[in-house]
Amino acid sequence: SELKGYEFEGLESLRELYLHHNHITSVHNATFNSLIELRVLRLDHNKIVHYAVWQLSSMLTQITLSANPWSCDCDYTERFREYLHYTGHFVTDSMQVRCSSNSSSLDDDQDVGFYLLRDNTTTCVPYNVSNFIEPPVNGSYTSTTTIIQRQDLQDYIPFLIITLLTFFLVIVLTLIVFFYRQEMRVWFHSRFGVRLFYRTSDIEMDDRDKLFDAFISYSSKDEAFVAEELAPILENGDPPYKLCLHYREFPVGGFIADTIVQAVESSRRTIMVLSENFIKSEWCRFEFKSAHHQVLRDRRRRLIVILLGEVPQKDLDPDIRLYLKTNTYLQWGDKLFWEKLKFALPDVPNNQRARVNNHHHHHNNHNHNHAVHRHNNRNHNNARSVAIHI
């Protein structure tokens, strides 16, 4: 409803007027001019947006204006705020007076609109965005909050939430990548042949000219595991690796220490099959232990340790125990054993893949039942492995 200015004519003696909760949307500025005896006026809980409250009679002793969606226009809120300051003791609900631009009624919702006297620490900005550069009200910025500021804040809330969620997600993903980086590197390498966070060093480039991809050091009691499980998968798999093995490449009667040193130097990696047999037999031989100390102390991570079965910690050499504490090792039986082993091994050049595949095709046409016969046949047919001669 509207008050057009003539509704109270002839009521000059009226002292109290209660218009609250009447859904009044507008009030003409001359509506109360004829009420010269008016002392109490209640306009709260309506839908009034614009009304020059500062034109009300100074004879009023009690006024209520809250719960109306008063305009948040800068000029209007500035004058309204000044009026409340000067007549605050007459406007009994002055601290509850709010402005709003997107609500037809404020009622008792405490989160809608701006409190003209409470929200007094922000700058009054014109609602029209194109007018941002115009001079402020009365030559200086007021402290009144306006809808343009709250609206901007509301507009940015979804963006802020998305930003915070994105930041949180990035932090979580970063932590996951950090704690599971090795597993991720192994997975990417096994699926796509890509080594994440890996840079080919100068040492790695120099190693490409070595005769073997890996020398396998193991106990003679574990030869069945190496000959029937480990070597066939690595030599006949994809990619195929060139391996240096005791029973194939070591010359009969050769000095074991020199042979091992030469095998290590001729191989890009050294695979040590660490088992109880290895600790209690080969590792107890002085020359065998001396030959392996060099690779244990090599800082270039050329050693790959495979734990075969249960190995008593008390029986371990101090160098081996230190290596296991400070480096990653493989456990036979791990569900990702082969993926981790191939990740630890060097990459096989493409020309080696083709050469080995051609050899496999020729090699499969013959029946090789003896290790020496296989060795001689590989020498005759440009094979993967060449015997080490002292």
Q: Are residues 251 and 146 in the same domain?
A: no
Q: Are residues 24 and 123 in the same domain?
A: yes
Q: Is the pLDDT of residue 141 over 50?
A: no
User: What domain range is 99 assigned to?
Assistant: 1-154
Look at residue 348 in the predicted model and tell me its pLDDT.
81
- pTM for this entry: 0.51
Q: Is the pLDDT of residue 367 over 50?
A: no
| Lowest-confidence pick of 114-123, 162-171, 317-326, 348-357 | 348-357
Other CB atoms within 10 A of residue 66 CB: 21
| pLDDT (tens digit per residue) in 201-214 | 544 555 778 889 99
Domain CATH for 112: 3.80.10.10
Cβ neighbors of 373 (< 8 A, separation 6 or more) are none
| pLDDT (tens digit per residue) in 259-298 | 888 888 888 888 989 998 888 876 666 656 666 766 766 6
Q: Are residues 231 and 363 in the same domain?
A: yes
| Lowest-confidence pick of 49-53, 144-148, 251-255, 311-315 | 144-148
Q: Is the pLDDT of residue 91 over 90?
A: yes
Supply 350's token pair.
Answer: 């493409």
Distance CA 62, CA 20 (A): 13
Residue, of 227 and 379, whose pLDDT is higher: 227
Percent of the chain with pLDDT strictly greater than 90: 35
| pLDDT (tens digit per residue) in 146-198 | 444 544 555 567 888 999 999 999 999 999 988 888 888 888 888 877 777 76
Q: Are residues 134 and 241 in the same domain?
A: no
Q: Are residues 137 and 220 in the same domain?
A: no
Q: Are residues 101 and 230 in the same domain?
A: no
